[in-house]
Structure 1
Amino acid sequence: MAERRSLIEGIKNPNPPVDPEKEKAFVFRDKKDAKPDEGGPPMAANTSRTQSNPSRVPLSTRIRADFAAALKRASLERQLEGIEPNTLQDILEQAIEPWLRDNGYLK
Structure 2
Amino acid sequence: MSPRRSLVTGLSETPNVTEQEKKFVFGSDDESMEPITESKLNAFAKIDNSQNTEEVLPQYRGRVPLTTRCDPKLASALKRASLKRQLEGLETCQIQEIIEEAVETWLKEHGYY
TM range (shorter): 0.3 to 0.5
Question: Greater Rg, structure 1 or structure 2?
Answer: 1
Between 1 and 2, higher relative CO (CA 8 Å, sep ≥ 6) is seen in: 1
